[in-house]
Structure 1
Amino acid sequence: MEVDKLKKWLNVAQQFQSDKFWNQIFDENSKNSSDKQFSLNPLTTIKELFPKCDLYEVEQVLVLEAEIPGLTKEDLHLSVQQQLLTITGEFKSLNQNRQYFLKERTNRQFKKELTLPYPILINKVKSEIRHGVLYIVMPFHQEDVENIPIAFDQTNSE
């Protein structure tokens, strides 16, 4: 019984040691069509969850907080198209002039897309970085949210 558990553990450990596994995590070109939907596959959930974000509403304002340790405003790009907020950036940790004895932080690019619950006033959006957290404050008008009336046929179909 214990030998079977050890074999399973070794198989999993070998998967995490393979270059293919780690290249799929950090290589944007390795995406396939199944990556676009939510998946329990760790290769896609890592990409979907980075950077970690909170989005909440306070007094007619949407606020997004995103963890971006070590990045500056030059490393980031923010855009809004309709109700889709896109955050793209690049971590640059490799310095060619250093002799590394341990290098765990890789240079990598990321892209995070969030669908906003309301249309926002783009010309009034403000953003800032404080202590490794990106804050984006997005005012909106509740009146701009259009409700679609639903017609209801009350005739008896019996």
Structure 2
Amino acid sequence: MEVNQFSKWLDVAQQFQAEQFWNQFFDSKNAQQFSNSHSFTAINEYVPKCDLYEKDTKLIVEAEVPGLGKENLQISIHQQILTITGEFKSLTPNCQYYLKERVNRRFKKEITLPFPVNIHKVRTEINKGILVISMPINREEVEDIPIKVD
């Protein structure tokens, strides 16, 4: 390796060792930009992928939660924020692993709902690894605000 190439490599290596680089990297804004531009999925791989749509005057959320039962999930709604928290537990006690790719991990997913919902009529079910949350839209709390024109 030429001295010039080695010098460039050494400069790059020192950049990755600098505390300032790692502080910037783990800043949430920069981490998101890095993940978008470098196909870096480690940040998002622990959060279930979700769909939110409206059907028959209800908001429906479908979340991928393979292998999770209701004992490993918690769902709450506060001020039009739906929060799904849970824990993937993959460790089987009293056994010897020869391959261990699935990790135990906790997650928290927050979804801003476009409308207020009737919390007392929310229904949930898990079917084939998909958590379905059905929330009737509370039209009584949706208010149109008049616009005054001068």
Cα offsets for 1:5-47 (capped at 9, x unmatched):
xxx9xx9xxx9xxxxxxxxxxxxxxxx6x42799233368733
The structural deviation recorded for 1:97 is: 0.9
Could you tell me how far apart the structure 1 residues matched to 2:70 and 2:95 are? 25
Per the alignment, residue 82 of structure 1 pairs with 79
Would you say how many aligned residue pairs link Structure 1 and Structure 2?
A: 125
Could you tell me how far apart the structure 1 residues matched to 2:46 and 2:94 are? 32
Please state if 1:96 is matched with 2:108.
Answer: no
Cα RMSD, aligned residues only: 2.8
Task: Tell me which of 30, 51, 56 is aligned to 2:53.
Answer: 56
Amino acid at match of 1:127: T
TM-score, with normalisation over the residues of structure 1? Answer: 0.69
Could you tell me how far apart the structure 1 residues matched to 2:97 and 2:73 are? 26
The structural deviation recorded for 1:151 is: 1.9
Could you tell me how far apart the structure 1 residues matched to 2:67 and 2:145 are? 44
Could you tell me how far apart the structure 1 residues matched to 2:118 and 2:132 are? 16
Per the alignment, residue 120 of structure 1 pairs with 117
Please state if 1:35 is matched with 2:28.
Answer: yes
The structural deviation recorded for 1:50 is: 1.9
> Which segments of 5 or more consecutive residues in structure 1 lack a partner in the other structure?
16-31, 154-158
Could you tell me how far apart the structure 2 residues matched to 1:38 and 1:147 are? 38
